[in-house]
Amino acid sequence: MENQNIENNQLENSSVPFVSHFSKLRENPKWLVKLLILIVLALITAFVSYLATKDTVISQSNGQMNSGLYLIISLFTGFFGILFNTAIIFVIFLVISKIFKSDAKGSSIFSAALSYAIIIDTFSLIITIIQALFGLSIFEYKLDSLNIFAKDNKYLMAISLTNVLKAFLTGVVYYSTSRLSKKTSIILGIVALVLLVGFGLISGASGQSMPNMNTK
């Protein structure tokens, strides 16, 4: 018990970003407030994405899409997309934590998933706003990735600060909230990074092929 209290104090006073926050979620989840924050953030993100993409989408729709319809579609898909992704993140955190015999409560892991989503979505929102302010299309560029140096290379979008942040937070959640060992948490974070980059490369492959198909 004494060793556990010492470990709790070390985590809650850690200087590593987010470690202290995710550690405190074990005893103080406060998930309802964060769920409301995520809902508001999802709506803001969806609206900003609409503003950043409406001209391109409407011009390419050949009159089949107007701004009102596209706004509704953007808000609906953006809002429910973020909530669905958060639910998937929660399930992944919960299942893997239980596989490794974590004693973390479901409410604590749910709160951790919400914090994860809020941090990632806030970061992505900032990137989108910056790109919009500088007139950089979010279809062609991803400001936090290597793609910023070569807009025609969709593969480079997979190598991004967003994916690094996701992998880092994954390790932090397992270490601070689920209380898995440091080694296991680091390995799971690395696995997450590999998967994120891998899926990004697959997405990049489809993105690269579409322009080629249109030129035929």
Per the CB < 8 A criterion, the answer to whether 94 and 100 are in contact is no
The tens digit of pLDDT for each residue in 176-203 reads 999 999 999 999 999 999 999 999 988 8
pLDDT of residue 136: 85
Residue 114 lies in a domain: yes
pLDDT of residue 82: 92
Residue 189 lies in a domain: yes
Residue 5 lies in a domain: no
Task: State phi, psi for 160 to the nearest 5 degrees.
Answer: -135, 160
What is the secondary structure of 24-68 as a DSSP string?
HTTT---HHHHHHHHHHHHHHHHHHHHHHHHHHHHHHTTTS--HH
Residue 213 lies in a domain: no
Highest mean pLDDT among 53-62, 69-78, 123-132: 123-132
Range of the domain at 111: 17-205
User: CA 23, CA 28: separation in Å to the nearest integer?
Assistant: 9
Residue 184 lies in a domain: yes
Does the pLDDT of residue 216 top 50, yes or no?
no
Structural domain count of the chain: 1
What is the signed CA dihedral for 203, 204, 206, 209, rounded to 10 degrees?
Answer: 180
The dihedral sign for the CA sequence 118, 161, 143, 67? negative
What does the angle CA 104 – CA 186 – CA 1 come to, to the nearest 5 degrees? 40
Residue 7 lies in a domain: no
Q: How confident is the model at residue 53 (pLDDT cuts 50, 70, 90)?
A: confident
Residue 148, classed as helix, strand or coil, is helix
Per the CB < 8 A criterion, the answer to whether 165 and 119 are in contact is yes
Residue 186 lies in a domain: yes
Indicate the length of the chain as a whole number.
216
The tens digit of pLDDT for each residue in 13-43 reads 677 889 999 999 998 998 999 999 999 999 9
Residue 8 lies in a domain: no
The rounded percent of the chain whose pLDDT value lies above 70 is: 89
Q: What is the pTM of this model?
A: 0.87
Average pLDDT over residues 82-104: 96
Report CA-CA distances (Å) from 177 to 49, 187, 191.
32, 16, 18
User: CA 158, CA 142: separation in Å to the nearest integer?
Assistant: 9
